[in-house]
């Protein structure tokens, strides 16, 4: 039997841990590398600002970019206020009773629902029952429900990170609970809430299933005029040109993926920078 001395076994253990950790960054680099390599040649001014041509085999992807941005903007405008207000209620007001427990359980379950189920739900409720049709608003509402648990959870974490002593200090000056939340808790929780919101935007930008039946169109060669218009969306567009169009130039497919990737990474980066900036200023 081989006996390793403790020092050597420790070195081996650390080496294995390090190698496994390095393995995590390999797929990230590969994905980015392949997409940039195959797609950068498609990125031109016309590609970013033009309409699709030749059955989407040429021209630009502007309608898909604008479509994704409008769906995501609407979605965050709906989900952020609701999510933050719900988080405030749960964190600052709710007593530990049956209602609160049901709400918390719902949030956990909402987070576990597969995204394609949200898509079907949105189709049934917003597109058909409420007669919004396949539209930006139907897609945005669907995405906002899907993102609600994430927004609530990150907002609650942000509210929780505000020291309890700030609340006590404010209350002991005769400041009411609501004023305390408005003047002390929220301003100090805002960086955390914003970080969560930006990461949510990044996440839903790439979602395909929830908008599949509710907002995304196969081909709409113009920009939307209202929230009741159908739009093209980057992730869905990418699916179509990768699988549904014969003789698709490869660099256009990868170029589209690159645009989506850059959008999402930029937002994640913004979130990281925001967090870093506020963490440096925070001293409690």
Partner 1 sequence: MNTQIPVIKTVDLNLFYGDFHALKNVNIEVAGNRITSIIGPSGCGKSTLLRVFNRINDTIEGVSVKGKAYFENTDIYHHSCDIDLLRRKVGMVFQRPNPFPLSVYENVAFGLRVHNQAGGGTLDAIVEESLRSVLLWNELKDRLNESALDLSLEQKQRLCVARLVAVRPDVILLDEPCSTLDPMATMKIEELMVELKKKYTIIIVTHNMQQAARVSDDTGFMLLGELIEFGKTSAIFTSPEKKETEDYITGRFG
Site stretch for partner 1 (CB under 8 A), options 77-85, 174-182, 199-207, 217-225: 174-182
Buried b (16+ CB within 10 A) or exposed e, 125-160: bbbeeeebebbbbbbbbbbbbbbbbbbbbbbbbbbe
Q: Is 54 in the site for partner 1 (CB under 8 A)?
A: no
Q: Is 98 in the site for partner 1 (CB under 8 A)?
A: no
Site stretch for partner 1 (CB under 8 A), options 100-108, 151-159, 181-189, 208-216: 181-189
C-beta of 255: minimal distance to partner 1 in Å?
46
Q: Distance between CA 43 and CA 125 in Å, rounded?
A: 38
Q: Is 282 in the site for partner 1 (CB under 8 A)?
A: yes
CA angle 226, 227, 232 (to 5 degrees): 95
Nearer to partner 1 (CB atom), residue 8 or residue 183:
183
Q: Which of 37, 53, 101, 183 binds partner 1 (CB under 8 A)?
A: 183
Q: Is 160 in the site for partner 1 (CB under 8 A)?
A: no
C-beta of 166: minimal distance to partner 1 in Å?
6
Q: Which of 9, 49, 109, 176 binds partner 1 (CB under 8 A)?
A: 176
Q: Distance between CA 76 and CA 51 in Å, rounded?
A: 26
Q: Is 244 in the site for partner 1 (CB under 8 A)?
A: no
Q: Is 280 in the site for partner 1 (CB under 8 A)?
A: no
Give Cβ neighbours of residue 193 (< 8 Å, ≥ 6 apart): 84, 154, 155, 158
**H/E run at residue 10:** helix 6-39
DSSP 3-state assignment of 216?
Answer: strand
Q: Which residues bind partner 1 (CB under 8 A)?
A: 95-96, 163, 165-176, 179, 183-184, 188, 282-284
């Amino acid at each position: 039997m081989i006996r390793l001395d403790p020092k050597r076994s420790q070195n081996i253990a650390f080496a294995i841990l390090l190698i496994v950790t390095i393995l995590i960054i390999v797929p990230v680099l590969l994905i980015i590398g392949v997409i940039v390599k195959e797609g950068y040649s498609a990125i031109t001014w016309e590609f970013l600002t033009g309409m699709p041509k030749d059955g989407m085999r040429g021209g630009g992807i502007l309608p898909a970019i604008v479509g994704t941005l409008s769906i995501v903007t609407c979605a965050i405008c709906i989900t952020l206020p609701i999510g933050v207000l719900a988080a405030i209620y749960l964190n600052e007001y709710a007593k530990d009773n049956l209602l609160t427990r049901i709400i918390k359980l719902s949030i956990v379950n909402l987070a576990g629902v597969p995204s394609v189920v949200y898509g079907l739900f949105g189709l049934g409720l917003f597109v058909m029952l409420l007669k919004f049709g396949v539209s930006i608003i139907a897609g945005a509402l669907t995405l906002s429900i899907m993102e609600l648990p994430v927004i609530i959870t990150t907002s609650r974490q942000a509210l929780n990170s505000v020291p309890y002593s700030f609340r006590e200090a404010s209350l002991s000056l005769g400041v009411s609970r609501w004023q305390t939340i408005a003047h002390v808790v929220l301003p100090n929780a805002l960086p955390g809430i914003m970080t969560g919101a930006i990461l949510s935007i990044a996440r839903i930008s790439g979602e395909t299933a929830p908008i599949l039946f509710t907002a995304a169109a196969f081909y709409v060669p113009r920009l939307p005029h209202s929230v009741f218009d159908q739009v093209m969306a980057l992730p869905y567009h990418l699916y179509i040109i990768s699988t549904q169009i014969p003789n698709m130039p490869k660099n256009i497919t990868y170029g589209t993926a690159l645009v989506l990737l850059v959008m999402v990474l930029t937002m994640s980066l913004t979130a990281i920078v925001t967090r870093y900036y506020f963490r440096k200023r925070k001293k409690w």
